[in-house]
Amino acid sequence: MRTTAKQDCNEDLNILTDSIQLKMESNKILCNHCKRSKTNGIRCLGICVSDNDY
């Protein structure tokens, strides 16, 4: 079965969209007080209720 250029573009767009969504999820702010996320390297000061890293 041959794919059309439109189908190829749609598949590429879906892959790109999934990639962007994964990056956004990994950079989601975990704490509104210190603005830390999974990937930004910020450590909690110990006054954030949401920190379980201790």
Q: How far apart are CA 42 and CA 21, in angstroms?
A: 22
Read off the pTM.
0.41
Q: How far apart are CA 2 and CA 22, in angstroms?
A: 30
Domain ranges within the chain, ordered by starting residue: 1-40
pLDDT digits (tens, 9 = 90+) for 2-11: 778 888 888 8
What are the backbone dihedrals phi and psi of residue 32, each rounded to the nearest 5 degrees, phi first?
Answer: -70, -20
pLDDT digits (tens, 9 = 90+) for 10-51: 888 888 887 777 777 767 888 777 888 888 888 877 776 654
